[in-house]
Amino acid sequence: MAELAGRIALVTGGGRGIGRAVALALASEGADVAVAARSADELEETVSAVRAAGRRGEAIVCDVTHRPNVDAMVARVRTALGDPLILVNNAGVAASAKLTDTTDEMWDGMLRVNATGAFYCTRAVLPAMLQAKWGRVINVASIAAKMGAPYIAAYAASKHALLGLTRAVAAEVAARGITVNAVCPGYVDTEMTDASTANIASRTGRSEQDARKILEGFSPQGRLMTAAEVATLTAFLCSDAARGVNGQGLVLDGGAVQS
């Protein structure tokens, strides 16, 4: 029997990139998967792939920064699939600017998506996990949750907040059969990183190929991580084999950040 057979998972930011890879990894382990994001077309493609793997799937358009939308999303998952006892908070945004150029809107927006959205989603699903005495929450953070760097004050603050949320909730539910962990990847080969390379190229005059090499150079392995690697680690954290892993921020960057 597949490891997650009979489980219901909810993956935010599930239309593409890491979220899509996570949804498919969970489906391959036997879970039925609801995916949420702001783009309906991409969600339908992900759900089609989940169903092609023989699992039930549900696509839900949702902006996680609005609590009523989150509550409605979770209610719909319950109606369509059942209680989501696996939650992957993957919805996220990234932007860079000097602190003096960081606007109020950039700061607020980063915190609302990357931290407050995860708070809303976790709070909404936790009662069912507590009742079931089993649950898995995985927050997709970043190495920016563990360290600072120039020009990412808002992003790093939001990911540090997400890691803090992870640790606090993990401590709160540790004796209740629930684990809460964060995955902290370095640069991952996704459309978001493509946008970062384009931004570097436009600011520095370098080619996008050279800009990509800069990002690859942040890893001692000289490469970008892959969405599949993040998804594999996430699926492992959902397994019974990982039941002793709780309150951790697991770094996936080839060895640059060792903590």
Which residue in the block uniquely carries the two structure tokens 């690697």?
A: 229
Known catalytic membership, residue 187:
no
User: Which of 180, 193, 73 minimizes the C-alpha distance to 121?
Assistant: 73
Q: Which of 120, 151, 155, 187 is catalytic?
A: 155
Instruction: Order the strands of the 86-89 sheet from edge to edge.
Output: 57-61, 32-37, 8-12, 86-89, 135-140, 178-185, 249-252
Give the angle subtended at the CA of 247 by the CAs of 33 and 168, to the nearest 5°.
100
- Cα distance between residue 21 and residue 197, in whole Å: 21
Q: Decide if 100 contacts 150 (C-beta within 8 A).
A: no
Residue 182 to residue 67: CA distance in whole angstroms: 22
The 10 Å CB-count burial string (b at 16+, else e) for 55-86 is: bbbbbbebebbeeebbeebbeebbeebebbbb
* Residues annotated catalytic, as ranges: 155
